[in-house]
Structure 1
Amino acid sequence: MKKTQGILQYIFIIVGAIMASFSVALIILPNDAIDYGTAGVAIIISKLTGLSLAPLVFLVFIPFIIAGHVVLGKSFTIKATVGSLTYTLGIHFFEEIPFELNTEHFLAVAFGGAILGAGLSLILRNGGCIDGSEILANIVVKRLSDKTGRNYSMTPVLLAFNALVYFTVFFTIDMTAALLSLLVYVVATTVIDHYTDHFEAIKQVTIITQDPDNIIADIKKQLNKTCTIMDSRGAIAGENNTLICYISYFELPIMKDIISANAGSFSTVSTIDEILR
């Protein structure tokens, strides 16, 4: 069952990457807009230098894959590599297809952004990633959390990174391209937020268990996180413990593995907009 689930995750990541590359190569770029994140950086370099886009996308992403391996582990790295390779090959393939969406740029870009967002949602929901800015944001948030003991949202880092991308487009390409690209970002992230429940926000994991020690030890070892522990009582199970832990969206797959390795627990995940201290 677990093996089948793992295979399905890779299939969904590949499908999502194909959807994203289709949208970028055949809808977004022909309508004078660009993708956001590290793909946007690669597109800017390609437009300014004339170099082929597909290899540039992968070259820009490589440092972030390496960084992701250090912070998020082997499973994430493999999924991110599969997704980014599929996205790169998709860009290369779709660039060679003569296709034109005969409508206004505004409508075409909005439609392309929706397809892009749907593809990225599939990738994110199955533990993958094809955007280095998301990995960078996770690393920054993790380092800040480790240093200060507080939990932070990835949103400010992602907004700052993409603001730099769009300012660069504004000053090096043209104003129309920057505004259309901003529309891509708004539409795509709206779709992603809907299907991933605001992946950039802090996630609260609540675990109810009668044997908390192993779970706490695994969370400390694998995520370098601590938990709040509360005594609780079930109507049938009786005395147990409730653990509350705050993590990022990209740490959820690791948390799921920890929970599945410790049978007999019940857990929920919710989105936290803000933590007050």
Structure 2
Amino acid sequence: MRSKKLYKYYLKDLLTKIPWIIAGAFMAAISLEVILVPNGLIDGGITGISIMLSKGLGLSLSTLIFLLNIPFIYLGYKRLGKRFAFCTMLGIISLTVSTGLLDAFPPFLHGNSFLLIFIGAILLGLGIGIVLRNGGAIDGTDVLAILISRRTSYSVGESIFIINIFIFMVAFLLFGLMGAIVSIITYFIATIVVDVVRT
């Protein structure tokens, strides 16, 4: 009887988190497809790598996001458990579907104004933070950041930013110094929001 009650509680708790994970992934997708990517900025992590490959090879951004994140779903399953792996898979699929849907519409926000960058960074940080708070992730580097934060004194947001320094160095080669700097500033703001929302 006790185990049955615990299972019902577990299932109810999981079902309440699923809408939040989907909503968080959609918020991140809006930031990427509506604000960041159309204005020459990139995200960090696997999503950032997917953006660069999409621009360089002309492949679908949503498809790349899904395929490149598969190994990290498995890593999450092995190191953080079945529930985390399920929530992460849900988050990544939601991000993939959302970016695919939004990609069908022409971008309607243009110009690298600080206000636009700020809005994009906050929206991205909110999306990532909401998904993390509800037990999942929407990017492979989020999985690595959680593992790092458990073994070090760095927060998840700080770990995400450190991991992504390399990606922004590549961005410097592809998008120039200004594009890389603006992307770093954007992502730095986003990681602060991630830590605020997650805690």
Fold in common (TM above 0.5): yes
Shift of 1:115: 0.8
Q: Which one-letter code corresponds to 1:72 in the other structure?
A: L
Of 125, 128, 133, the residue aligned with 1:117 is 125
Q: Which moved more, 1:26-35 or 1:151-160?
A: 151-160
Q: Take 2:197 and 2:147, find their aligned partners in 1: how far apart are those partners?
A: 23
TM-score (norm 2): 0.87
Q: Is the 8 A contact 1:31 1:109 kept in 2?
A: no
CA RMSD of aligned residues (A): 2.0
Q: Find the counterpart in structure 2 of residue 166 from structure 1.
A: 168
Higher strand residue share: 1
Shift of 1:139: 3.9
Shift of 1:140: 5.0
Q: Find the counterpart in structure 2 of residue 215 from structure 1.
A: none
Of 170, 194, 197, the residue aligned with 1:195 is 197
Q: Take 2:14 and 2:145, find their aligned partners in 1: how far apart are those partners?
A: 26
- Which runs of structure 2 are paired with 1:3-14 in the superposition (5 Å)? 3-14=11-22
Shift of 1:157: 4.8
Q: Is the 8 A contact 1:65 1:77 kept in 2?
A: yes
Q: Take 1:137 and 1:119, find their aligned partners in 2: how far apart are those partners?
A: 16
Higher helix residue share: 2
Q: Is the 8 A contact 2:22 2:91 kept in 1?
A: yes
Identity, % of aligned positions: 33
SS at match of 2:138: coil
Count of aligned residue pairs for this structure pair: 190
Q: Does 1:59 align with 2:61?
A: no
Go from structure 1 to structure 2 and tell me whether the alpha carbon gap of 1:88 and 1:152 turns closer, same or farther (over 3 Å shift). Answer: same
Q: Find the counterpart in structure 2 of residue 75 from structure 1.
A: 83
Q: Find the counterpart in structure 2 of residue 222 from structure 1.
A: none
Q: Find the counterpart in structure 1 of residue 5 from structure 2.
A: none
Q: Find the counterpart in structure 2 of residue 48 from structure 1.
A: 56
Q: Take 1:112 and 1:179, find their aligned partners in 2: how far apart are those partners?
A: 15
- Which runs of structure 2 are paired with 1:21-170 in the superposition (5 Å)? 21-139=29-147, 145=151, 151-153=152-154, 157-170=159-172
Residues 191-228 of structure 1 deviation map (CA, whole Å, 9 limit, x = unaligned) = 1121223xxxxxxxxxxxxxxxxxxxxxxxxxxxxxxx
Q: Find the counterpart in structure 2 of residue 20 from structure 1.
A: 28
Q: Which runs of 4+ in 1 moved over 6 A?
A: none
TM-score (norm 1): 0.64
Of 168, 177, 184, the residue aligned with 1:182 is 184
Q: Take 1:134 and 1:18, find their aligned partners in 2: how far apart are those partners?
A: 16
Which consecutive unaligned segments of at least 5 residues does structure 2 have?
1-7
Go from structure 1 to structure 2 and tell me whether the alpha carbon gap of 1:12 and 1:133 turns closer, same or farther (over 3 Å shift). Answer: same
Q: Take 2:153 and 2:112, find their aligned partners in 1: how far apart are those partners?
A: 40
Which consecutive unaligned segments of at least 5 residues does structure 1 have?
146-150, 198-277
Shift of 1:137: 3.3
Q: Rg bigger for which structure?
A: 1
Go from structure 1 to structure 2 and tell me whether the alpha carbon gap of 1:51 and 1:187 turns closer, same or farther (over 3 Å shift). Answer: same
Higher relative contact order (CA 8 A, sep 6+): 2
SS at match of 2:55: helix
